[in-house]
């Protein structure tokens, strides 16, 4: 591991030194007139911008859409998103389509400097010419926001943008998505969307020390902003396999009977990002991931997994003296108790949720601290318990539910994991 890091650093430095990474500036242009684009292009661009989460990364909290200024922890300091509104002085108003396309496809800014991979150009490189043009049309027709870009806090030597040229040699494969002949048209459409504009792997694939997604561990699950984006491959720990229908339901509505709801940032991916995509596109994404996770091979054991999970819904009565059980009965059971043999559509069975079965307790802790929904997005609601429960209470609940709702070993290090996720100004033990 250490050896690979050292080799990596050496290559980055060498590439930077030899100027392998030098790229010319693209001549600035006068901002294009709005009527140089067709309404169809602009509408298609709006849909792609939503699916690509451009607004959630390129808007500061409370700030104007696309004005930039949101900070991202890179491991080497903060990188700020930039102003991508069409203001010619502080945004990208004087970028030609060629300059915009090069940024999306190669991660190079108009002035020739390399962009950091926090900007998921490593995925956007897969976009077709038509889709890049539609995005350009959309951004050039937004209201101009006057906002200077914030200066990143990344320290030397990592702030030397030429080094990104070396990074690209090691970790970046440029190029438009290539259709895989062995698969159906729908599967290919799903792969195009997943690997390109919706960049699912940016959160669901683990990264190496230099922020590159690990190709060998595609969709193997990764921590994201205090949560854990579960594996979308065969290692997914949900008791029930994620079938094509389950994935479609979840991506379309944020809810799946056999799995529960999309919470945290995934709620925003579904309700803000994917919401405008047509059904056919969501069916395509579902087809791609249902194949990727091998759910068909797990189908024969699904019925047994369901009845085991459902048998765990009535295990609490009579255990009031066990640590965690009384808390669960007092604070949670009113909503999470269901005598039905099938999982209810909302208030799903906890025994079916990866928040309980995952090796990583983050999503359980976050759900209990912050609840579900209630942010103005559609969907079911669970209150947050950060004020009502202490760290020790949450640890007891976690231990109790993991023991009674799964076959997995107890979570280690719960106190530290809970303390790290406690919101400021809330109850402490
Ligand atoms: C995960 C967050 C994230 C997402 C999603 C994202 N960006 Fe960015 N983008 C960034 C960051 C951070 C930078 C600045 C990178 C740097 O400083 O090297 C950036 C830079 C850019 C740039 C270069 C601008 C300049 O002034 O140099 C363009 C163009 C851009 N993004 C367009 C888009 C578009 C279009 C989308 C949606 C399809 C998008 N971005 C989605 C984070 C994001
Ligand atoms: C910005 C980061 C991010 C992006 C982008 C993202 N996800 Fe997620 N995803 C998460 C997180 C975090 C969770 C865990 C939250 C939860 O379970 O409610 C999650 C949960 C999920 C789950 C539930 C898995 C399980 O077993 O519980 C599925 C399925 C999923 N995502 C699919 C996708 C797909 C498909 C895409 C691309 C279209 C995508 N995600 C894009 C962060 C992301
Ligand atoms: C007012 C009703 C209500 C109460 C009280 C409640 N929940 Fe929930 N909970 C929900 C709903 C609704 C959902 C989302 C539906 C789903 O996941 O199927 C949910 C989801 C969850 C999830 C799964 C999150 C996911 O990603 O799918 C966990 C874990 C959870 N609750 C734990 C708890 C615990 C522990 C307590 C007690 C401290 C509790 N809940 C109290 C209504 C409630």
- 8 and 106 together in one domain: yes
- 115 and 236 together in one domain: no
- 91 and 228 together in one domain: no
The confidence band for 6, taking pLDDT boundaries of 50, 70 and 90, is: low
pLDDT in tens, 363-402: 999 999 999 987 776 678 899 999 999 999 999 999 999 9
Residue 187 lies in a domain: no
The confidence band for 20, taking pLDDT boundaries of 50, 70 and 90, is: low
Binning the chain into helix, strand and coil, the percentages to the nearest 5 are 45, 5, 50
Pick the atom of ligand 2 nearest to 268's CA.
1
Rounded to the nearest whole angstrom, what is the distance from the C-alpha of residue 252 to the centroid of ligand 3? 20
The confidence band for 311, taking pLDDT boundaries of 50, 70 and 90, is: confident
Residue 60 lies in a domain: yes
What percentage of the chain exceeds 90 in pLDDT? 78
Rounded to the nearest whole angstrom, what is the distance from the C-alpha of residue 329 to the centroid of ligand 3? 13
Ligand minimally distant from the alpha carbon of residue 269: 2
Strands (E), 57-188: 71-73, 78-80
- 12 and 147 together in one domain: yes
pLDDT in tens, 77-125: 999 999 999 999 999 999 999 999 999 999 999 999 999 999 999 999 9
Residue 275 lies in a domain: no
Residue 347 lies in a domain: yes
Closest Cα partner for 120 from 226, 212, 232, 5? 212
- 111 and 248 together in one domain: no
- 361 and 229 together in one domain: yes
Instruction: Reply yes or no on whether the pLDDT at 314 is more than 90.
Output: no
pLDDT in tens, 241-272: 999 999 999 999 999 989 999 999 999 999 99
Pick the atom of ligand 2 nearest to 193's CA.
38
The confidence band for 35, taking pLDDT boundaries of 50, 70 and 90, is: very high
The pocket around ligand 3, CB under 6 angstroms, is made up of 260-261, 263, 331-332, 334-336, 346-348, 350, 353, 355, 363-364, 367-368, 372, 380-383, 385, 397
Q: What mean pLDDT comes out for the span 340-354?
A: 75
Closest Cα partner for 229 from 71, 373, 358? 358
For residue 284, what are its two tokens? 């395509």
Q: Which domain holds residue 98?
A: 2-171
Report the number of distinct structural domains present in the chain.
Answer: 2
Measured distance CA(231)–CA(360) in Å, rounded? 11
Residue 279 lies in a domain: no
Residue 273 lies in a domain: no
- 68 and 167 together in one domain: yes
- 29 and 127 together in one domain: yes
- 143 and 261 together in one domain: no
Residue 198 lies in a domain: no
Residue 188 lies in a domain: no
- 129 and 253 together in one domain: no
**Among candidate residues 171, 200, 235, the one where a domain is terminated:** 171
Task: Please give, one letter per residue, the 3-state secondary structure of 1-30.
Answer: CHHHHHHHHHHHHHHHHCCCCCCCCCCCCC
Range name among 9-23, 68-82, 131-145 with the lowest pLDDT average: 9-23
Query: Nearest C-alpha to atom 40 of ligand 3 is from which residue?
Result: 332
**Among candidate residues 133, 148, 171, the one where a domain is terminated:** 171
Cα–Cα separations (whole angstroms), residue 199 to 37, 38, 52, 203, 370? 26, 27, 7, 8, 26
- 391 and 251 together in one domain: yes
- 328 and 246 together in one domain: yes
Average pLDDT, the chain: 92
CB of 310 within 6 A of ligand 2: the answer is no
- Residue bearing tokens 């030194």: 17
């Amino acid at each position: 591991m250490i050896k690979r890091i050292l080799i990596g650093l050496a290559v980055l430095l060498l590439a930077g030194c030899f100027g392998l990474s030098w790229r010319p500036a693209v001549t600035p242009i006068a901002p294009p007139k709005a009527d140089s684009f067709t309404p169809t292009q602009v509408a298609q661009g709006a849909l792609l911008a939503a699916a690509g989460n451009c607004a959630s990364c390129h808007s500061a909290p409370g700030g104007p859409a696309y004005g930039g200024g949101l900070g991202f922890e890179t491991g080497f300091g903060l990188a700020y998103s930039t102003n991508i509104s069409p203001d010619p002085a502080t945004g990208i108003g004087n970028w030609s389509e060629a300059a915009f396309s090069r940024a999306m496809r190669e991660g190079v800014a108009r002035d020739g400097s390399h962009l950091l991979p926090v900007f998921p150009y490593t995925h956007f490189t897969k976009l077709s010419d038509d889709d890049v043009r539609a995005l350009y049309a959309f951004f050039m027709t937004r209201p101009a926001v006057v906002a200077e870009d914030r200066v990143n806090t990344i320290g030397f030597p990592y702030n030397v943008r030429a080094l990104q040229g070396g990074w690209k040699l090691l970790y970046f494969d440029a190029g438009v998505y290539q259709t895989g002949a062995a698969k159906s048209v729908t599967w290919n459409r799903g792969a195009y969307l997943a690997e390109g504009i919706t960049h699912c792997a940016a959160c669901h694939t683990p990264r190496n020390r230099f922020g590159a997604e690990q190709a060998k561990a595609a969709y193997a699950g990764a921590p994201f902003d205090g949560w854990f984006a579960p594996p979308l491959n065969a290692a997914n720990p949900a008791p029930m396999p994620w079938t094509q229908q389950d994935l479609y339901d979840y991506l379309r509505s944020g809810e799946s009977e056999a799995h529960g709801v999309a919470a945290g940032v995934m709620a925003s991916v579904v309700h803000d990002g994917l919401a405008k995509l047509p059904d056919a596109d969501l069916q395509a994404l579902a087809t791609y991931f249902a194949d990727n996770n091998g759910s068909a091979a797990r189908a024969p054991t699904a019925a047994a997994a369901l009845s085991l999970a459902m048998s765990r819904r009535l295990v609490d009565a009579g255990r009031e003296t066990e640590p965690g059980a009384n808390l669960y009965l007092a604070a949670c059971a009113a909503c999470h108790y269901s005598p039905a043999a099938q999982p209810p559509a909302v208030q799903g069975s906890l025994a079916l949720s990866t928040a309980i079965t995952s090796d990583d307790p983050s999503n359980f802790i976050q759900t209990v601290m912050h609840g579900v929904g209630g942010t103005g997005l559609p969907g079911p609601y669970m209150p947050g318990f950060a004020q009502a429960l202490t760290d020790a209470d949450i640890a007891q609940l976690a231990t109790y539910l993991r023991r009674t709702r799964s076959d997995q070993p107890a979570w280690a290090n719960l106190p530290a994991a809970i303390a790290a996720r406690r919101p400021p100004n809330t109850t402490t033990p």
